[in-house]
């Protein structure tokens, strides 16, 4: 029974699976070549083909990922809390696996291995559905992983890869209430939309990040500039990259020209007041403020107060990560209390909202929903709890 498998057995399976991935490299690359050839033949965009393509180094990285997960603490069995009631009942709240965790994902075959590792370590069976474009690669990767499970004496079916890749099958997959305890989608807006419309299984959404950097009137402008540039440009394609700059009007004239210069190469779109200071800023539409660009593009807004900044962030944000640059203790306090997001950051880059950066060791995604998990999801977020109650004959009066 996977849920009660020992940490030793799970870690042995992760180590065996890692070794087998490396051993199976030729078969995996051969399978991957058929996926890549088919994708190229059908005119798939080069960036998509790149996500699909495996190399010996990428397979080695997948194996290393499994070894890293093996080295993390096992969340299962953690006693989250406990107390004794006046009648002598001892109530303990213990972390247990969810059961079956389903992941729907797109083209990257490494997700097959990464998701499996996190699910196994947290005692969950992994029920995976990748894209049709990566089916041969995913099957080859899964074969190695399943062999690793068996080698460690665990059931191979702790990993099940769905090989029916029709669109209709994905919809059916989202409705398997009898089999799936939690569904986590790893993909873009169209996948998320399909889940919101069709899923009847419980899910945790890894959602958009329309993240803001607000530069307060009291900000250390040099520091704010570093934070802004890092948040926007260090890796623009990810969900914790900043998409919007909000500046207090009392520092706009000083800060915006420096920001525009430091963000050369980034298309800035802004409101009239930002355009008055920096004429090269194009006019923003309301739509621009609500958009996760995932690109070298950024919206700019000038506000007259902390209240306006908070209102702007709460109106356009997606509840992911919002940062304030300030030296004012009261402003930091109000921003962190009043902005509604998974992470609120004072004087640091938005890019830190990440399982690795939080010290979780690995992550399955970043939740922008409020139920179950919010923010980076590591091994603990792949568990639930159970109350274990010990008595000596207590009955209710």
SS (H, E, C) 238-255: CCCCEEEEEEEHHHHHHH
Q: Among 160, 171, 352, 361, which residue sits at the site for its own copies (rule: CB under 8 A)?
A: 352
Task: Give the C-alpha separation, 292 to 315, whole Å.
Answer: 14
Q: How far apart are CA 52 and CA 333, in angstroms?
A: 44
Least distance (Å) between residue 202 CB and its own copies? 5
Taking CB under 8 A as the criterion, the residue among 85, 179, 286, 295 binding its own copies is 85
168 binds its own copies per the rule CB under 8 A: no
Q: Which of 109, 117, 317, 375 binds its own copies (CB under 8 A)?
A: 375
Residues comprising the chain, all counted: 397
| Candidate list 4, 6, 34, 285; residue touching its own copies; CB under 8 A | 4
By CB under 8 A, tell whether 328 contacts its own copies: no
Report whether 10 contacts 123 (CB < 8 A): yes
Question: Distance (Å, rounded) from C-alpha 303 to C-alpha 310?
Answer: 10
Cβ atoms 227, 336 nearer than 8 A: no
Q: Which stretch binds its own copies (CB under 8 A): 25-33, 50-58, 251-259, 353-361?
A: 353-361
Is residue 337 a contact point for its own copies (CB under 8 A)?
Answer: yes
The yes or no reply on residue 329 touching its own copies (CB under 8 A) is no
Q: Rounded to whole angstroms, what are the CA distances from 260 to 144, 215, 298?
A: 50, 14, 10
Q: Which of residues 24-53 bind its own copies (CB under 8 A)?
A: none
Segment interacting with its own copies, rule: CB under 8 A, options 20-28, 84-92, 146-154, 159-167: 84-92
Residue 298's nearest CA partner among 232, 200, 388 is 232
Taking residue 4's Cβ as centre, other Cβ atoms within 10 Å add up to 11
Binding map of its own copies across residues 211-240, x = CB under 8 A, - = no contact: ---------x--x--xx-xxx--xx-----
Query: According to CB under 8 A, which residues from 171 to 210 bind its own copies?
Result: 177, 181-182, 196-197, 200, 202, 204
Q: What CA–CA distance (Å, rounded) separates 312 from 211?
A: 12
**In terms of CB distance, is 5 or 29 closer to its own copies?**
5
Task: Indicate which single residue of 142, 374, 378, 379 sits in contact with its own copies (rule: CB under 8 A).
Answer: 374
Tokens representing 369 are: 């929903």
Measured distance CA(238)–CA(228) in Å, rounded: 15
Dihedral angle at the C-alpha atoms of 58, 62, 64, 69, nearest 10 degrees?
160
338 binds its own copies (CB under 8 A): yes
Using the rule CB under 8 A, is 89 a contact of its own copies? yes
Binding residue (CB under 8 A) for its own copies from 66, 215, 277, 345: 345
**For residue 44, with 0-12 CB atoms within 10 Å meaning exposed, 13-18 middle and 19 or more buried, which class applies?**
middle
Binding site for its own copies (CB under 8 A): 1, 3-4, 83, 85, 89, 91, 96, 98-99, 177, 181-182, 196-197, 200, 202, 204, 220, 223, 226-227, 229-231, 234-235, 332, 336-338, 340-349, 351-353, 357-359, 369-372, 374-375, 384-396
């Amino acid at each position: 029974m996977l849920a009660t498998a020992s940490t030793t057995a799970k870690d042995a399976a992760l180590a065996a699976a890692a070794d087998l991935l490396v051993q199976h490299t030729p078969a995996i690359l051969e399978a991957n070549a058929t996926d890549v050839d088919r994708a190229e033949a059908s005119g798939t965009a080069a960036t998509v083909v790149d996500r699909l393509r495996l190399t010996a180094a990428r397979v080695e990285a997948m194996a290393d990922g499994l070894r890293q997960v093996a080295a993390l603490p096992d969340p299962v069995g953690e006693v989250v809390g406990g107390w004794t009631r006046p009648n002598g009942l001892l109530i303990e709240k213990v972390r247990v696996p969810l059961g079956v965790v389903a992941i729907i994902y797109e083209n990257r075959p490494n997700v097959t291995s990464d998701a499996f590792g996190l699910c196994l370590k947290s005692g969950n069976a992994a029920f995976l559905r990748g894209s049709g474009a990566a089916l041969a690669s995913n099957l080859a990767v899964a074969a190695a992983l399943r062999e690793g499970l068996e080698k460690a004496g665990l059931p191979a079916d702790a990993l099940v890869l769905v090989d029916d890749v029709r669109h209709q099958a994905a919809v059916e997959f989202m409705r398997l209430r009898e089999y799936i305890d939690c569904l986590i989608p790893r993909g873009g807006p169209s996948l998320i939309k399909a889940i919101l419309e069709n899923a009847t299984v419980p899910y945790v959404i890894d959602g958009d990040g329309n993240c803001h950097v607000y530069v307060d009137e009291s900000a250390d402008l040099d520091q704010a500039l570093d934070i802004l540039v890092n948040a926007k440009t260090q890796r623009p394609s990810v969900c914790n990259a900043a998409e919007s700059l909000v500046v207090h009007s009392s520092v706009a004239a000083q800060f915006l020209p420096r920001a525009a210069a430091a963000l050369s190469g980034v298309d800035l779109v802004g409101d009239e007041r930002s355009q008055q200071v920096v004429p090269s800023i194009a006019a923003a539409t309301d739509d621009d403020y609500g958009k996760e660009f995932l690109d070298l593009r950024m919206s700019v807004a000038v506000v007259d107060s902390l209240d306006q900044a908070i209102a702007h962030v709460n109106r356009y944000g997606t509840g992911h990560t919002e940062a304030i640059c300030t030296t004012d203790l009261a402003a930091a306090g109000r921003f962190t209390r009043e902005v509604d997001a998974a992470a609120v950051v004072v004087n640091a880059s938005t890019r830190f909202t990440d399982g690795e950066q939080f010290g979780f060791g690995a992550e399955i995604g970043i939740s922008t929903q409020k139920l179950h998990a919010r923010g980076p999801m590591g091994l603990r977020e792949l568990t639930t709890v159970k109350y274990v109650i010990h008595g000596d004959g207590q009955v209710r009066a």
